[in-house]
Chain A
Amino acid sequence: MGEIINESMTSREMLDILVSKNMEDARQAKKDGKLVCWSSSIAPCEFCETMGIYTVYPENHVVGIAARRGAPELLEYAERKGYANDICGYARANLAYMDVQKCVSEEMPLPDLVMYCNNICETLVKWYENIAYTLNIPCLVIDVPFNHEDEISQANVDYVKKQFGTVIGQLENITGKPFDYDRFQEVMKIASQNANDWYDATMLCSAVPSPLSGFDMFNYMALIVCMRGRKECGMTFRKLKEELEGMIARGECGMKKAEEKYRIMWDGIACWPYLSHTYKVLRDQGVNMTGSTYPSAWALRYTPGNLEEMARAYTGMGNNLSLKGQTDLRKGIIRDTKCDGVIMHMNRSCKMCDFLQHEIGQELSSSLGVPITTFDGDQADPRNYSKAQYETRIEALVEMMAEQKGE
């Protein structure tokens, strides 16, 4: 794949080529009788990558569908099948897609195995259980128990690390090949380098004005999700970093045709069916999204070869932390990316994103004094969003931010 992108391309060109090539490769692999895996977005990609298993990501696939307004028919199909409409929109759309194999976006081949890591949510446990049961295929699991205390317990790390061994054994059985430990070492190096490159590039939004709009970052996210185990991923983010550094030197803002007057942290998943509306309302008032939990979400840093550190990285991911851990993470983001306010997405699809919002919000406003607003939306289901409500809430937030800035 190395040849399909080169240094003369922009990072955006690289991104587009790589993401579509990844899905195309998986479709071809399926046709050729090779193994395809469906994986959750922050599961360890290192194992399947080592074994040459083509991996695609249902969450990312549904994002493509939702952003192209193609989710409703899949959601309705799932509901007719008996799935309650309050279940995660990604899961509903994907479980429907598994049946119908047709969508408005790229087609995704059916899996021969699935793998989930519940560091982002517990809904994956049931979602992947249903895929594995329905298709009668192996379900590989890295269970990372919730860190209910403020420290990550050694028992948690030990348990996660032991599961790495189990997954290796399962993959050997599934592929009929011995696990290639030399290749594994190489993949771990690439994956952790990519994690650093992703973080370094996306955190350049701390510059004032920010050379990167958070909404552009949402696009680049597809690559860190889908190709974290490939070296082309890092190449793209290094290129992005170079471009952003150039913009910083020139004092350019990442928002097109707008001046950056306010900077906010976006808390939660994007509202994909209304991505453009949510962006434009902000841009029109000079609000740039500079902070989010995404840069750190894939900053899975560990010394290649050190499985203990790797286990700690996967279980220590933001969503899997205690209230204090999650609050501290956001305080850091607000400070580092110099945010004047916070927008919390009360996302009907994601209980994990929502149910601590009250407590996190209280702590952020009392300790940092940042104004906060929330709006109702959904990561996939357009029925749960109201343009008018969003506009009113953003207007109110801008007023509060203006007041704080003494304007």
Chain B
Amino acid sequence: MNYQEYIRELTAAADSPKAAILASCKKNGKRAVGWVAPYAPEEIIYAAGCIPVGLWGGEAELKKARTYLPPFACSIMQSIMEFEANGTYDDIISAVVIPAPCDTLKCFGQKWKGKCPAVRFVHPQNRHVPGANEFLVAEYEHVRKCLREILGAAITDEELSDAIRLYNDYRFAMRTFTHVASEHLDVITPVVRHKIIKASFFMDKKDYLQLINGLITELRKQPRNQWSGRKVVITGITFEPEALLKVFEDYNVAVVADDIAQESRQFRTDVPFYGTPMQSLAKQWQIHEACSLAFDANKRRVEYLTELVRANDADGLVIGLMKFCDPEEYDVPIIMQACEKAGIPLLNIEIDQQAAGVGQNRTRIQAFVETMA
């Protein structure tokens, strides 16, 4: 396959999640298990012989969700609520795993309206104290126990270790991909980049890994640095709807690196070797840094972002601020200060998955591009 074919296959999966998931299930003789954004121990699902499917909302017309959530819940949760209530997930997933890193998700896990059973867990926030690892191991053991009961799967430690190895390979490949992509910005446009990364939520990771590694190999055969437009780093929870990324393309702006929860934050931190497989999985959360969702009184995310801009020779930083997302919103003033101090042009765009059009954001992006000139 040449690089265009790889791109076509991956972006097609992102464009049609349901078809991609069902095809991957059929091909591998597996069932799918959903997990709600932003973080879940996918390895446990994978070790259960299932395909983990990341639920990150999407464009949806809110009808039923309006009954269950006030309008000031973030749009990802509004969309997922709509999908779970209108049956979108029913014939796809056999169970769903729901984390609780914010008030919205704490409540959300208690009110799943889909047909399949929900498994809830919570990450510790005091991540560096004695007891944090044990607590998260207990939470993950709870997930394992529930999934065993629901799916009738064994989920042995050996299966878990295998899953961790595969996922670490996937993470490594993704970090490589984002790097290689930054050298081929003419091909890997913002929309394409987003779709390629997103496709990993809708297929067996071992199949995805083959595709992404194939793409990396083919991309490397192409001439590098053919890009003459502007380059930005993006940060936030998600940068959907896609139309927003398309506006960047319209103004000749490429995404050179990201700190998006749906994208790089998923694969930034490997699962280290740390005792048992469960202890290792738990340790990953403890060493996961520079994320708005993981407590850090040093707020290393701020430095991480300015450094990401510099290291990638980017022209500016764009915050895709998920509307009504507390963890992200609290970081904004501090990121603003840091960018001002570092002389980094900054644009703050509101993210609403249900937004009908890009509207004002087009004007703002255009103005921002001019300031970077």
Residues in B whose Cβ lies below 8 Å from that of A162: 129-131
Contact A352 B330 (CB under 8 A): no
Mask of B64-87 contacts with A, CB within 8 angstroms, 1/0:
000111101100000000000000
Q: Closest Cβ of chain B: how far from A378's Cβ, in Å?
A: 11
> Complex: how many Å from CA A259 to CA B331?
50
Contact A122 B67 (CB under 8 A): no
Contact B299 A122 (CB under 8 A): no
Q: Closest Cβ of chain B: how far from A11's Cβ, in Å?
A: 34
Residues in B whose Cβ lies below 8 Å from that of A375: none
Mask of B288-322 contacts with A, CB within 8 angstroms, 1/0:
00001001111100000000000000000000010
Residues in A whose Cβ lies below 8 Å from that of B142: 149, 153
Q: Closest Cβ of chain B: how far from A145's Cβ, in Å?
A: 4
The segment from B37-45, B120-128, B246-254 found at the interface with A is: B120-128
Residues in B whose Cβ lies below 8 Å from that of A158: 131, 134-135
Mask of A336-374 contacts with B, CB within 8 angstroms, 1/0:
000000000010101110111011000000000000000
The segment from A15-23, A28-36, A79-87, A270-278 found at the interface with B is: A79-87
Mask of B174-186 contacts with A, CB within 8 angstroms, 1/0:
0000000000000
Contact B336 A82 (CB under 8 A): yes
Contact B107 A122 (CB under 8 A): no
- Contact flag A155-B329 (CB < 8 Å), given A148-B122, A162-B131: no
Contact B329 A83 (CB under 8 A): yes
Contact B102 A122 (CB under 8 A): yes
Q: Closest Cβ of chain A: how far from B335's Cβ, in Å?
A: 8
Q: Which of A87, A123, A125 has the most CB of B within 10 A?
A: A125
> Complex: how many Å from CA A104 to CA B304?
39
Contact A86 B298 (CB under 8 A): no
The segment from A68-76, A127-135, A171-179 found at the interface with B is: A127-135
Task: Indicate which residue in A122, A134, A149 contacts B106 across the interface (CB closer than 8 Å).
Answer: A122
- Contact flag A133-B131 (CB < 8 Å), given A148-B120, A149-B120: no
Q: Once A and B bind, how many residue pairs between them come within 8 Å at the CB atom?
A: 148
For B120, give the chain A residue with the smallest CB separation.
A148
A146 interface hit (Cβ, 8 Å): yes
Q: Closest Cβ of chain A: how far from B102's Cβ, in Å?
A: 5
Q: Which of B78-128 contact A (CB under 8 A)?
A: 100-104, 106-111, 120-126
For A147, give the chain B residue with the smallest CB separation.
B122
Contact A356 B321 (CB under 8 A): no
- Show 17 residue pairs from A and B whose CB-CB distance is below 8 angstroms, ordered by the A residue: A82-B332, A86-B323, A87-B329, A123-B103, A126-B292, A143-B124, A143-B125, A145-B100, A148-B121, A153-B138, A161-B131, A166-B130, A351-B326, A352-B107, A355-B69, A356-B107, A358-B111
Measured CB to CB, the residues of B under 8 A from A are 67-70, 72-73, 100-104, 106-111, 120-126, 129-132, 134-135, 138-139, 142, 292, 295-299, 321, 323-324, 326-327, 329-334, 336, 348
Q: Which 4 A-B pairs have the closest CB atoms?
A: A155-B138, A162-B131, A82-B333, A355-B107
Inter-chain pairs besides A126-B326, A126-B331, A146-B106, 14 sampled, C-beta below 8 Å = A84-B323, A125-B327, A129-B295, A141-B295, A145-B100, A145-B139, A148-B109, A159-B132, A162-B130, A162-B131, A165-B130, A350-B103, A351-B326, A355-B103
